[in-house]
Amino acid sequence: MVTVNIGMLHYVIDHIYGAFMYRTKISPPFFSRGWGGSKLELLERMIKELFPEVEGQNWPPTLIQPIWRTVWETRTACLREGVFRTTCDEQLISALPPESHTARVAFLAPKRVPPQKTACVVHLAGTGDHTFDRRLRLGGPLLKQNIATMVLESPFYGRRRPMLQRGAKLLCVSDLLLLGRATIEETRSLLHWLDSEGGFGKMGVCGLSMGGVHAAMVGSLHPTPVATLPFLSPHSAVVAFCDGILRYGTAWEALREDLAVQKTVMTLEEVRQRMRNVLSLTDVTRFPIPKNPNAVIFVAATDDGYIPKHSVLELQKAWPGSEVRWVTGGHVSSFLLHNDEFRRAIVDGLNRLEWKEPSL
């Protein structure tokens, strides 16, 4: 009788998927056009300015007025899509590709319950998630528990993808930081809209993988308590691009050549160290503790070939009061098989928040 180590099998599946996606020449690698020049310097400076001078003081989100259209509605629910101009400041807007200037959201909400007795969670995109569909399927069943779903289309993804970009393969390292910074700004504005214009009684933010990193950043930087739900997420992009499977899909030679053009001669090992230094800006353990850390629930996989266990535990340690839940599987299999666990975390995270006092 042959015994199979299921955990090892999940881990191997992640590596087989990674080898197929990133080691074959089916699609170009990440960052094939280099670092991003002056854009990268701008972003490095601006990301360091994210953190409040005074503990617990975050800058207020920009108010938006999305333009909505109804996609469909039934007696009990309604799906709308909205557009609004990205809420980045002018420096960032000039760095973003023109295709990314207009943000798009899908908004699935129950109809028979007043907003003040309804919660809403903003779902952020994982790597390669260009459409609303998967996240709407994740959030859809939560309508029965009076939880609405708002799905943001990321900059550089979907209709916001630059013309020269293939799939999710960002052209420059600066694009990764731009994507993150714009996602944070837009999500905070959406949460502010849900609170001030939508009148929702509770809010949350969640995401898978890269989307989970962004969700953690939003939860950290939002001025009011929100349920923060990072799924299958590392504590930093360093883990994905320098240590994990995505390192096989990174254009290291192109990055070295880009530095050589700038008269900086480096070995590949030095190029990788420079990448670590740049991506250390995405280390969420350096971000402020969220306003209600008890409403932070990480869901991680036991045999994740992309995200090592220590990365998840570093975040939990940095945010005392947060919770880590483990699902059995790898990155790819958990992404496909554990939606019920993700939904349960959403419900539990929201339950740890107080209902907003109704305005008079």
Pairing of strands 147-152, 102-110: antiparallel
Q: What is the pLDDT along the chain (360 residues), one digit of tens a residue?
A: 433 455 555 555 444 444 444 454 557 899 999 999 999 998 888 887 766 555 555 778 999 999 999 999 999 999 999 999 999 989 999 999 999 999 999 999 999 899 999 999 999 999 889 999 999 999 999 999 999 999 999 999 999 999 999 999 999 999 999 999 999 999 999 999 999 999 999 999 999 999 999 999 999 999 999 999 999 999 999 998 998 888 889 999 999 999 999 888 999 999 999 999 999 999 999 999 999 999 999 999 999 888 889 999 999 999 999 999 999 999 888 878 999 999 999 999 999 999 987 665
Beta carbons within 8 Å of 195's beta carbon, 6+ residues apart: 203, 224, 356
Q: What does the chain come to in residues?
A: 360
Q: Is 267 exposed, middle or buried (0-12, 13-18, 19+ CB in 10 A)?
A: exposed
pLDDT of residue 325: 97
Helix, strand, coil percentages (3-state) for the chain, rounded to 5, are 45, 20, 35
- From 133, 125, 74, 82, select the one nearest 106 (Cα to Cα): 82
Q: What pTM value is reported for the model?
A: 0.91
d(CA 292, CA 322): 9
Are 245 and 305 a contacting pair, CB within 8 Å?
Answer: yes
Q: Interior CA angle at 129 toward 242 and 198, to 5°?
A: 120
pLDDT of residue 181: 93
Q: What is the phi/psi pair of residue 20, to 5°?
A: -65, -45
pLDDT of residue 197: 95
* Local structure of 98: helix, strand or coil: helix
Beta-bridge partners for 280: none
